[in-house]
Amino acid sequence: MEMYEAGTSTRTDVALCYMSDRVDRELLTTIQNKLEESKSQDLKMSQQSLAEALFQRKWYNPFPKYKFTERPDTACACLMEGKVIILTDTSPSALILPTSIFDMIEEANDYYFPPITGIYLKISRVLISLLTVFMVPLFLLFMQNPAWIPEIFRFVLIEDTVNIPLIFQILILELAIDGLRLAALNTPSMLSTPLSVIAGIVMGEFSVESGWFNSEIMLYMAFVSIANYTQPNFELGYALKFMRLLLLILTAIFNLPGFLTGCLIVVLCITFNKTLSGHSYLNVKLN
């Protein structure tokens, strides 16, 4: 463990933790140098401020390059794997470096179940993540080209009158769902659950009856909204949301070429994203 101090005014204590016989020496040297350089930077929001000060991300790639945890067992397991842990005074979270997309999807509770159960949960989480990104854009693509739908799947077609274009319905619901989440954060804990249920039922039913939204759109967006909570990493959940929005907009404007272009952008954002140790973002084993 190495101790540092960040900020001439805040003088925040920062602890750098690693196992000397397992850590990536090149990555460790890089982090040590950056911590030395950050001594003059005041940390206003502790852990997140330190992460942004140490590692500047490209604004156009939303996929996170570091992971936070408040669990001691997770931090210890990462140390055993050769990762680096950064602890910041006044912050309850540990910053884990480096991390791949598989580390982001991984949940510590999976290891407290029998192996077959843990594997099933990991596979389910990956499949649900893919559905949250591609399901609604695919639905929009097929609604724009109903002749492409096989006869056996014709039941997915919207039979009711579409008063508002589907893309605008989806974008409005995306914004409304985030609004409900923000409202839930500021609602007293005793009222959050009943108010959420009432808001979901009343707003969902009356929005369909009034003609603002079609029931099929409400169904798919409800699934996406709930499925986002399967992600243990908050930043990854929003990265997938931004990719979904990109796919939706490109599909609505350019139809099939737009959907394929969006899929290519998603793949490129993941493939060419590098961890802080310089490895591929798709690497299962970083060291």
- Which tens digit of pLDDT belongs to each residue from 2-25? 998 877 777 788 899 999 999 989
Between the alpha carbon of residue 120 and those of residues 103, 111, 124, 127, the distances in Å are 16, 12, 6, 11
Q: Are 257 and 209 in contact (CB under 8 A)?
A: no
Return the structure tokens found at 218: 């409400």
Question: Residues 226-246: pLDDT tens digits?
Answer: 898 888 888 899 999 999 999
pTM of the model: 0.87
Q: Is 95 helix (H, G, I), strand (E, B) or coil?
A: strand
- 3-state helix, strand and coil shares in percent for the chain, rounded to the nearest 5: 60, 10, 30
Domain ranges of the chain: 2-97, 127-271
State pLDDT tens for residues 35-72: 887 765 666 666 777 787 777 777 788 898 888 999 99
Q: Which helix (H) or strand (E) holds 46?
A: none
Once rounded to an integer, what is the mean pLDDT over residues 73-85? 92
In contact, 174 and 245? CB cutoff 8 Å: yes
Q: Is the pLDDT of residue 285 over 60?
A: no
